[in-house]
Amino acid sequence: MIKRIFTTRFIFILTLIFAAAIMRLIPHWPNFTPVAALALFGGTYINRKYLAFLVPLAALFLGDIVLGLHEYMVPVYACFILTVLLGFAIKRKTTVLTVISASIASSLIFFLVTNFASWIQSPLIYDQTFSGLMTCYIAGIPFLNNGISGDLFYSGVLFGSFYFAVSRIPALQRA
């Protein structure tokens, strides 16, 4: 049973995910991180559903332990659970277009959910009105730009590296 899970392909996928997770610990522009890309990648290529959720979320949590736990962990983790689900959605047809679309969708979900959470949890900063919510979203636009750029970049690196490796190393191809 354990031998069936820990195939060469699975170990390679784990290696890519944890390498990307380490990149989160290196200084970077705000929201230009590999986290959404590794959740999308995990959802696409890890065959066991529980591991597809567990591996990216564990990588995220380990990074949060190093960087510091925060009050927005529930909405942030919820966004990455949704991103794993996006990975499931593109699993059958993983193309450049589906990866780009899912990466952008992930960025938008993260932006909408986390800014909403920020608005709800910051009544002293943002009025608890529709206008206050819009002010919060407008304030987050620079982070959205970095988020989209980071998600596209790291998705390109992860999916591109995997595609290149699979085309050159027969042991990484599906059994």
User: How many domains are contained in the chain?
Assistant: 1
Contact (CB, 8 A) for 72 and 121: yes
Residue 175 lies in a domain: no
- With H, G, I as helix, E, B as strand and everything else as coil, classify residue 128: coil
Cα–Cα distance, 82 to 77 (Å, whole number):
9
Tell me the residue range of the domain where 89 lies.
2-169
What is the structure's pLDDT at 3? 59
Residue 86 lies in a domain: yes
**Digitized pLDDT (tens) for each residue of the chain, 175 residues in all:** 455 777 888 888 888 888 877 888 888 788 888 889 999 999 999 988 999 999 889 888 988 898 888 889 999 999 999 999 999 999 999 999 999 999 999 999 999 999 999 999 999 999 999 999 999 999 999 999 999 999 999 999 999 999 999 999 888 887 5
Q: pLDDT tens, 27-48?
A: 878 888 888 999 999 999 998 8
Residue 39 lies in a domain: yes
Full-prediction pTM beyond 0.85? Answer: yes
Residue 85 lies in a domain: yes
DSSP H or E run through 18: helix 8-23
Cα–Cα distance, 149 to 145 (Å, whole number):
6
Contact (CB, 8 A) for 9 and 174: yes
Residue 123 lies in a domain: yes
CATH of the domain at 154: 1.10.1760
Give Cα 121 to chain centroid, integer Å.
23
Residue 174 lies in a domain: no
